[in-house]
Amino acid sequence: MLKCKINGKEVEVPEGTSIIEAFKLSGQDIAHYCWHPGLSVAGVCRLCMVEIEGQPKLQIACNTQVQDGMVINNNSETVKDVVRWGLDFHLINHPLDCPICDQAGECGLQDQYMQFGKYTPEMAERKVKKRKVVDLGPTVVLDTERCILCSRCVRFTDEVSKTHELGIFNRGDRSEIGTFKDRPLDNKYSLNTVDICPVGALTSKDFRFRQRVWYLKTAESVCPGCSTGCNVNVYYNEEGLWRVRPRYNAEVNGHWMCDEGRDTYKFVNRKARLLEARVGHKDSWQSEAPGSAAKQAGVKLKEVLESEGPESVALVLTGQYTTEEYEAAIGLFQSELNSTLIYHWVNNPESFEDFDGLLLRGDKNPNTKGLLQALEQAGIDRPWQDLLDRLKAGSIKTLVVAGPENQSVFPDQLEKLEMFKEVENLIWLTAGPVEGLEHRAKPTWQIPLKTYIEKAGSFVNHQGLKQSFQVGTIVVSSALTLAEAVTLLAGQELELSAQDQILQQNRKKNFFTETRGAL
Amino acid sequence: MSGFQLSAEGVEFVKSELKRYETRLSAVIPCLYRVQKENQGWVSPESVSYLSQLMDIPEAHINEVLSFYTMFNREPVGRHHVQVCCNISCAMNGARELTEKICKELDVKEGEVSKDGKVTVTRVECLGSCGTAPMMQINDRYYENLTSDSALKIIRELK
């Protein structure tokens, strides 16, 4: 370990640590654009200047390693003046269109300008005009005027995605990032370049101009897109979710996530959701409240059980729910309904084991491992074929299916619906409306479930790492969790969780409006 | 990928350059020169793709080098590429007026190829021959201590 002093504070860091990392370790601010902890050092933005005692000139903190006994500061007037000028040079050709820029509110230039702005610009020359709104492929839009040439995105395509599309072309103040022959930036990780862009040069086609970031709240969660289980931040407001971005976790995803995972907010929003339970069959459908529909279905279940015996009820689970829900559902099924006919629906057996070498896995379920563990704990190991045989024999009268939350990764859903066609009663628990279910001729219950962001629980990823998450926001408040739905199906009453109770008490006391104060 | 290909010697050259430096990227400039020489004086996007495959270096990286340096032409040029230095010493000795005269003589606009495809005239920055200003470079040769008469004579003698 090396000892050094940063702005008067003693810090101990391992050998090989750069000064900028030492600043981060000691929790002190340092201005920087080009340095990113997940990429190589470029040393091009010249903003992380520090003064080192005994060295006549300032050094860049990102490319200088800490040596034992170093005394470093970045709060002297010399350093501040250099950073101020450095920032002013960055702004020479940067357009002053913050009000119409999508990065506003989370822009590195804006943030640093608050502290290091010159406020009276000293550049008399006209700004160099460059290409704006360049269509850079299916996910990204490029504005070359706003780019400060930090080269983070170029290093990302070289070092992380290894697709090498981006480069810095031309020279001097005409330099701009781009792709060779304006080919599209089309790789499975392209939106990470948008995340790491410190300015508004690279923006996401999916997100730009849809929300101002200061109106969005953030919740920590785990991506349900595949079995990697990338840690994410979800950005939401009262209308629903707007985007998903990666959150650093060295063990799972580092700083990155794939573009596919960023779409996992779409099936959460009201537009894509089943808002009420649908009960009936193809000639008559009725809307019901989710809770009472589940209760009703529970009564039907009991009837069937009493007349046909426990072998007449089966449960199909997908790998899309939390471990806690699996344990509750499997437990209740065994204890209350005396049935051990529980099956695992594998959505894409051919590509289940695929892995692209970075993050993307072929198993498009967040919690297959958790489901298998829960089934093993309960001592249940039934092959899919067993279900098919029983369906064929007609011994299963009522089938409960905990269908996929993210239906886009279940291409076999219609095929499965076809298999379940002949079952007398079908209880389908799902977050979104299920295509094809409305044509079913026999009694059917579609009961809306909550999605991953609306419940607390944990996913076990492909490594066997159990990752817990909390409720982020509620989009469809009447929807049930899988555990709640199965509780009602089993004929039991729901208990309010401690959290819900507090919420309800506060509502009674009108707590939220009282503390808001006068507007 | 149709179109441009280096000659057998050219390919040999690229291979030996790749071994010559510590990093493969260092070989890009000499190889681009070679391509320019074998491609009528300019480097086309197709030839960048060809070189990228030959050198196993991403196209974007070759294009970074290509677009940085002015000595590589990214547009077709005439058989004779006349580059008149207009940096300080040459400019003070009348290089800018000289460029205009040459253009008029050849009936061609600066930076454009003449109609017969014979010449391109471009203004360039310092060619490192300030002691003999004004000067120009035609393809690989320097012509120094120019006067308008001597320059026009050289131009007229171009084939």
Q: Is the pLDDT of residue A519 over 80?
A: no
Q: Do A167 and B45 touch (CB under 8 A)?
A: no
Q: Indicate whether B63 and B131 sit together in one domain.
A: no
To which H or E segment does residue A2 belong? Answer: strand A2-6
Chain B residues within 8 angstroms (CB to CB) of chain A: 45, 48, 58-61, 63-64, 67-69
Q: Stretch A432-444: mean pLDDT, rounded? A: 93
| Domain residue limits at B135 | 80-156
- Tell me which DSSP letter residue A127 carries: P
pLDDT digits (tens, 9 = 90+) for A161-187: 999 999 999 999 999 999 999 999 999
How many contacts does A have with B, using Cβ atoms within 8 A?
31
Q: Using CA atoms, how far apart are residues A457 and A374, in angstroms rounded to an integer?
A: 14
To which H or E segment does residue A51 belong? Answer: strand A49-52
Q: Do B60 and A170 touch (CB under 8 A)?
A: no
Per-residue confidence at A310, pLDDT binned at 50, 70, 90? confident
Q: Return the residue matching tokens 């004929």.
A: A491
Q: Indicate whether B64 and B19 sit together in one domain.
A: yes
Residues of A in Cβ contact (< 8 Å) with B68: 169-171
Q: Is the pLDDT of residue A513 over 60?
A: no
- pLDDT value at position A516? 46
pLDDT digits (tens, 9 = 90+) for A1-34: 999 999 999 999 999 999 999 999 999 999 999 9
Q: Do A167 and B63 touch (CB under 8 A)?
A: yes
Residues of B in Cβ contact (< 8 Å) with A181: 45, 59
pLDDT digits (tens, 9 = 90+) for A175-234: 999 999 999 999 999 999 999 999 999 999 999 999 999 999 999 999 999 999 999 999
Residues of B in Cβ contact (< 8 Å) with A167: 58, 60-61, 63-64
Residues of A in Cβ contact (< 8 Å) with B59: 164, 180-181
Tell me if B52 is assigned to some domain. Answer: yes
Of A158, A171, A180, the CB nearest to B63: A180
Of A164, A170, A171, the CB nearest to B60: A164
Question: What letters, b where the CB count within 10 A reaches 16 and e where it falls short, cover B13-44?
Answer: bbeebbeeeeeeeebbbbbbbbbbebbebbbb
- pLDDT value at position A509? 58
- pLDDT value at position A506? 61
Q: Indicate whether B85 and B53 sit together in one domain.
A: no
Pick the CATH number of A2-90 from 3.40.50.970, 3.65.10.10, 3.30.420.40, 3.10.20.740: 3.10.20.740
Of B45, B61, B67, the CB nearest to A170: B67
Q: Do A167 and B61 touch (CB under 8 A)?
A: yes
Gap from A183 CA to chain B (nearest CA, Å): 10
Q: Do A169 and B59 touch (CB under 8 A)?
A: no
Q: Return the residue matching tokens 């009663």.
A: A425
**What token pair was written down for A209?**
């101009």
Q: Would the CATH topology of A2-90 be identical to that of A123-270?
A: no
To which H or E segment does residue A169 belong? Answer: strand A166-169
Q: Indicate whether B48 and B112 sit together in one domain.
A: no
Mutate to test the interface with B, among A131, A158, A180, A193 (most CBs of B within 10 A): A180
Q: Using CA atoms, how far apart are residues A514 and A498, in angstroms rounded to an integer?
A: 22
Residues of A in Cβ contact (< 8 Å) with B63: 167, 169, 180
Q: Which of B46, B68, B90 is the last residue of a domain?
A: B68
Contacts of A15 (CB under 8 A, 6+ apart): A1, A2
Question: Mean pLDDT in chain A?
Answer: 93
Q: Using CA atoms, how far apart are residues A249 and A261, in angstroms rounded to an integer?
A: 16
To which H or E segment does residue B88 belong? Answer: helix B88-92
Please give the average pLDDT of every successive group of 10 residues along chain B, which has 159 residues.
Answer: 85 96 96 95 95 96 96 94 95 95 94 92 94 94 95 92
Gap from A157 CA to chain B (nearest CA, Å): 11
Tell me if B74 is assigned to some domain. Answer: no
Question: Is CATH 1.10.760.10 correct for A123-270?
Answer: no
pLDDT digits (tens, 9 = 90+) for A327-347: 999 999 999 888 899 999 999
3-class secondary structure, A31: coil
Residues of B in Cβ contact (< 8 Å) with A165: 58, 60
Q: Stretch A445-470: mean pLDDT, rounded? A: 95
Q: Indicate whether B150 and B107 sit together in one domain.
A: yes
Tell me if B1 is assigned to some domain. Answer: no
Q: Are A378 and A335 in contact (CB under 8 A)?
A: no
Tell me if B73 is assigned to some domain. Answer: no
Per-residue confidence at A139, pLDDT binned at 50, 70, 90? very high
Q: Indicate whether B38 and B86 sit together in one domain.
A: no
Q: Which residue does chain A place closest to B61, by CA atoms? A: A167
**Which stretches of A30-156 are DSSP H helices?**
77-90, 108-116, 152-155
Residues of B in Cβ contact (< 8 Å) with A166: 60
Q: Do B67 and A179 touch (CB under 8 A)?
A: no
- pLDDT value at position A508? 63
For the residues of A247-265, what is the DSSP string, one character each? --BTTTTBT---TTGGGGG
List chain A domain ranges: 2-90, 123-270, 274-505
**What token pair was written down for B72?**
């590589």
Q: Indicate whether B150 and B105 sit together in one domain.
A: yes
Q: Indicate whether B97 and B61 sit together in one domain.
A: no
Higher model confidence: residue A125 or residue A35?
A: A35
Residue B145 C-alpha from the chain's centroid:
21
Q: Indicate whether B152 and B84 sit together in one domain.
A: yes
Strand partners, A303: none
Strand partners, A218: A235
- pLDDT value at position A163? 95
Beta strands in B32-145 (DSSP E): 80-85, 119-124, 136-138, 141-143
Q: Using CA atoms, how far apart are residues A24 and A33, in angstroms rounded to an integer?
A: 14
Gap from B66 CA to chain A (nearest CA, Å): 8
Q: Do B68 and A171 touch (CB under 8 A)?
A: yes
Of A164, A171, A181, the CB nearest to B61: A164
Residues of A in Cβ contact (< 8 Å) with B43: none
- Preceding omega of A198 cis (within 30 degrees of 0): no
Q: Which residue does chain B place closest to A163, by CA atoms? A: B58
Q: Is the pLDDT of residue A61 over 70?
A: yes
- Select from A303, A328, A309 the least CA-distant residue to A317: A328
Of A167, A170, A171, the CB nearest to B60: A167
Residues of A in Cβ contact (< 8 Å) with B71: none
User: What phi, psi does A438 have (nearest 5°)?
Assistant: -70, -15
Q: Is the pLDDT of residue A403 over 80?
A: yes
Based on the structure, what is the number of domains in chain B? 2
Per-residue confidence at A518, pLDDT binned at 50, 70, 90? very low
- Select from A344, A382, A343, A347 the least CA-distant residue to A363: A347
- pLDDT value at position A297? 95
Q: Is the pLDDT of residue A59 over 60?
A: yes
Q: Distance of CA A484 to CAs A321, A449, B19, Å?
A: 13, 9, 67
Q: Residue B23 sits in a domain of what CATH number? A: 1.10.10
Q: Which residue does chain A place closest to B45, by CA atoms? A: A181
Q: Which residue does chain B place closest to A180, by CA atoms? A: B60
- Select from A42, A369, A355 the least CA-distant residue to A188: A355
Gap from A158 CA to chain B (nearest CA, Å): 9
Q: Using CA atoms, how far apart are residues A302 and A491, in angstroms rounded to an integer?
A: 8
- pLDDT value at position A517? 43
CATH topology of domain A274-505: Rossmann fold (3.40.50)
- Select from A510, A431, A509 the least CA-distant residue to A474: A431
Question: CB neighbours (10 Å) of residue A126?
Answer: 7
Chain A residues within 8 angstroms (CB to CB) of chain B: 158, 164-171, 179-181
- Select from A58, A124, A125, A45 the least CA-distant residue to A86: A45
pLDDT digits (tens, 9 = 90+) for A254-295: 999 999 999 999 999 999 999 999 999 999 999 999 999 999
Q: Indicate whether B61 and B88 sit together in one domain.
A: no
Q: Indicate whether B115 and B47 sit together in one domain.
A: no
